[in-house]
Structures are given as structure tokens and as C-alpha cells.
Structure 1
């Protein structure tokens, strides 16, 4: 039994197809199939039921895959131990970032991180929170940046910063004359939302739970971008809420429509999250240090009220 054989088994279990598993493992399909077959022969069991389409795990195969994940992770930890002992910070590192954070945060920290840690090959993927959670569990991401708390058993969360919500209120809106917003002023019926699947959307819905009850009249508009929500607001379709860092890029005319909340403002907690196995923790720590240091200067708010990203 070898680590490579276990890695091939995990690939087949994930993709449920030998050809695709071989492609993702960068080997030929006959090589991968032969190594999986050798392991099955050695153990005298079948890990996969090849008669099913797609290929499925046998009952004993499910137990073997669960244990193989632990063994492969522990084997990778050995290299981590050596790297940490040598003080080496480098190699491939796959980082997931949620869509409502990526456009504003990435340009802020990436140039500094690349300059400070040139030996790290940072591979960045924009992914929704549900996808990030799944990929952290499957080992396809080394870490991610997401809105927290998520309260998931196998994930560790390290807060990076707290980003206040800011109202974007056009002059025609009922709240246009208010100098400061309060959460009880919000009415979910006239707040433009991101599309379903965005954790920022769920945070806004949670924030509005104490607002007026919906009357079922009018319309509801959802969009995939904050830019579209701002443009719709300017057309008199309602107000919207923006993360603070997104407001920094608005032009001066649009900034006139911004309204801050009365202290403490509602905010979202943005954290770097990673699997509890803590693989490549030295790179995760380096990312946390760089991002926290840069964003701390951009967000001056101290006391905030954290709004959960979970739509409970």
C-alpha cells in the first residue's frame, strides 16, 4: 500500500470516473486503474463497484476512503513540518475568496503579499461559500476568505477584519433625508438584494428581520453585482446595502447617496478559514498578517454589531 495509491483512490471516489480521475491526477488512465486494482488485490476487497454508472464506492470502500483522507493529510503534514523547521514559506497555495470580497480585497493585499513572499505560488479562486466549504473538506483549497461565523466542525476561523454595512440611498427614497440609518428603519420590501447564494445577501436579510413585515405587494429585484444594485437604486427602484470597502471605489457623485449607520454599525466578520488539519499553516499565517495589516488602515470603525452570514 502506498500514499500514491491512496491518492488515486481518493481521486476516483471524488470524480466517480477513472478517466477523469487520471486527468486530475496527471497520470494515464491505465496507470491509475492498475494502481487502484493492485491495492484492491492486496486488501482482497473491492473499493469500487464498477458495474454502476457513475462508479460508486462499496460499503467497505466508503470506510477506506474516510481513512485514506486522514492518511494522505498526515503524509502531507510531514513536508509541512520540514518546511516550518527550515522557516520556508513557499510552494503552491490554493486560496478561495467569496465573490463579494474578491474585487475589493484582492487588489489591496496581493501586490504586498507577492513582493514579501515571492516563493509562494498563490492560486486564487473565486467561489461561493458552499463551494469553499466543500473544497476545504475535500482538500482542493488550502484556505479561504469568507464571511463568518460559519460554525463548521472541521473548519477553523481566524477573523481578519470587520466590515460595516453602508446604505446606498438615492434622493428619491423615503430615507434620503435621514443623516444616519438605524436597522429598524429598513424594510426588506425596498432593499435591493444580491442573488441567492451570496452570503452578503443572507446577512442583509438577517439584518432586516426586525424591520416592517412584508405586505406581498410591489416587486423584488435581485442581482449578481453591487454595481448593478447601485445603478438600479439610482433609477428609483429602491435602496441597497454595500460592504464598506465597496463604497471606496464609488465616484464622488454616487458617494453623496451613502448613509452610514448609527454606532455601532451592523457589520460582517471576514475571516481566513482553513481545515483543522492546519496544513501549510505557515502560509496561512503569512496571509493573515499581510491582509490584517493592510485592511486595518482602510477600515477605521472600532465597535460594530456582527451580522451572521447564515440565513437562519
Structure 2
């Protein structure tokens, strides 16, 4: 049994096709098939049901894939040990970022990080929290930036910053005249929200439920982007809540519609998350250092109340 054979098994399990898996592994399809066949012969089991289209794992194959992923990940740790011993920070690093963080945070830290660590090749994807969690556990992401806490024993979290919620209230709204807002003033029924799948939406709903035990999840309107929510709010279709960093990007005229919460300010916790196995820790620590440094000067709020991003 070799690590290469296990790597090939993982590729077929992911792609459900021997030809595609071979392309991803940069080998010929006969070579990949032969190595997997050798492994099956050695173990005297079938890992894949080749009669199914697409190919499926057998019951024992599913257990083998789980263990193979652990073994392959642990083999990568040897290179990590060598890199850390040499003080080397480099190589490919795959990171996911949730949509409500990506447009504001990425421009703040990316140039600084590239300049400081030019040997790191970042591969960045915008993904929902659900997609991020699945890909970290499958080994397809090295780390991610998401709202926390996520309460998953397989995921480690390093807090980067606390980002307050800010009210965006158009002039015709009942709360526009208020200089500050209490959480109790909010009514989810006249609020514009992001569509399902966004953890920021779940945070807003959880915030509204702090004072309203019975909240029907039927909304006036939902959208896929914060920019669209602002435009719809400007049309008088309701108020919305924005992440604080997003408020720094809007026009001066639109800033007249911002209203801050009374303290303690409700906020989301944004963290760098990664698998508990802790691969490529030197890059994770470098990211934390750079991001924390640039955000520290942008967010000055101290007295905050963290709102969970988990749907309830």
C-alpha cells in the first residue's frame, strides 16, 4: 500500500470517474486504474462499484476513503515540518471567503500579504459557509474566513475581528428619525435580507429574535448581494442591516441613512478557520498576522455583543 495509491483513490472518489481523476493526478488512466486495482487486490475488497454510472464507493470503500484522507493529510505534514524548520512560508494555499466578507476585507489585506509573502500562491474562492465547511473537511481548502462561532469539533477558529451590524434606514422609514437604534426596535417584517444560504442573513434573524420569541420567517424581499439591498432600500422597500466594513464604501449621501446601535453593539465574529489537523500552520499564522494588522485600524468598536451566525 502506498500514499500514491491512496491519493488516486481520493481523486476517483471525488470525481466519480477514472478518466477525470487521472487528468487531475497528471497520470494516464491505465496507470491510475492499475494502482487502484493493486490496492483492491491487496486488501481483497472492492473500493468502487464500477457497474454504477457515475462510479460509486462501496460501503467499505467509504470507510477506506475516510481513512485515506487522514493518511494523505498526515503525509503532507512532513513537508510542513521541513518548511517550518527552514522558516519557509510558501507554496499553494487554498482559501475560501464568505460573500459578505470578500468584497470589503480582501482588498484591505491582499496586496500587503502578497508583498510580505511573495512565495505563497493564494487560490481564493468566494463560498458560502456550508460550502466552506464541506471543503475544509474534504481537504479541498486549507483555510477560510467566515463568521463564527460555528461549533464544529473538527474546525479550529482564530478570531480576526468583531464587525458591528449597522442599520441602513431610508428617509421614509419609521426609524429614520432615531439617532440610535435599540435591538428591540427592529422588526424583521419591514427588513430587507440576503437570500437563503448567507450566514449574515442568519445573524440578522437571530438578532431580531433576541427580543421577539415568535418571528415568522416570511420577508418582504430577499436578494443575493448587499449592494442590491442598499438600492432596494433607497427605493423605499424597507430598511436593512450592513456589516460595518461595508459602510466605509458607500457614498456620503447614503451614509446619511446609517444609524448605529446602542451599546453593547451587536456584531459578528469573523475568524480564520481551518481543519483541526492544522496543516500549513505557518501560512495560517502569516494570514492572521497580516489581516489582524490591517483591520485593527479600521474597526474601533469595543463594547460589542456577538450574534451567532448559525441558523436557529
Q: TM-score, normalised by structure 1?
A: 0.97
Is this contact kept in 2: 1:185–1:211, CA < 8 A? no
Is this contact kept in 1: 2:95–2:141, CA < 8 A? yes
Q: Find the counterpart in structure 1 of residue 186 from structure 2.
A: 186
Change in Cα spacing, 1:175 to 1:12, as seen in structure 2 (3 Å) is same
Within a 5 Å distance, the mapping from 1:116-195 to structure 2 comes to 116-195=116-195
Deviations 1:187-212 (A, max 9, x none): 00011000100000000000111455
Within a 5 Å distance, the mapping from 1:265-284 to structure 2 comes to 265-284=265-284
Task: Give the number of equivalent residue pairs.
Answer: 311
- Distance in structure 2 (CA, Å) of the matches to 1:216 and 1:299: 31
Is this contact kept in 2: 1:18–1:33, CA < 8 A? yes
Mapped pair 1:249 → 2:284:
no
Deviations 1:114-133 (A, max 9, x none): 00000101111111111100
- Distance in structure 1 (CA, Å) of the matches to 2:187 and 2:67: 50
- Distance in structure 1 (CA, Å) of the matches to 2:205 and 2:215: 12
- Distance in structure 1 (CA, Å) of the matches to 2:19 and 2:141: 22
Is this contact kept in 2: 1:188–1:211, CA < 8 A? no
Q: Find the counterpart in structure 1 of residue 115 from structure 2.
A: 115
Q: Find the counterpart in structure 2 of residue 48 from structure 1.
A: 48
Structure 2: runs of 5 or more not aligned: none
Deviations 1:191-239 (A, max 9, x none): 100010000000000011145555899x610011111111111111000
Q: Find the counterpart in structure 2 of residue 292 from structure 1.
A: 292
Is this contact kept in 2: 1:187–1:211, CA < 8 A? no
Q: Find the counterpart in structure 1 of residue 88 from structure 2.
A: 88
CA RMSD of aligned residues (A): 1.4
Is this contact kept in 1: 2:209–2:215, CA < 8 A? no
Q: What's the offset of the Cα at 1:49?
A: 1.3
Q: What's the offset of the Cα at 1:24?
A: 2.4
SS at match of 1:79: helix
- Distance in structure 2 (CA, Å) of the matches to 1:60 and 1:254: 58
- Distance in structure 2 (CA, Å) of the matches to 1:304 and 1:288: 21
Q: Find the counterpart in structure 2 of residue 6 from structure 1.
A: 6
Q: Find the counterpart in structure 2 of residue 226 from structure 1.
A: 226
SS at match of 1:298: coil
SS at match of 1:63: helix
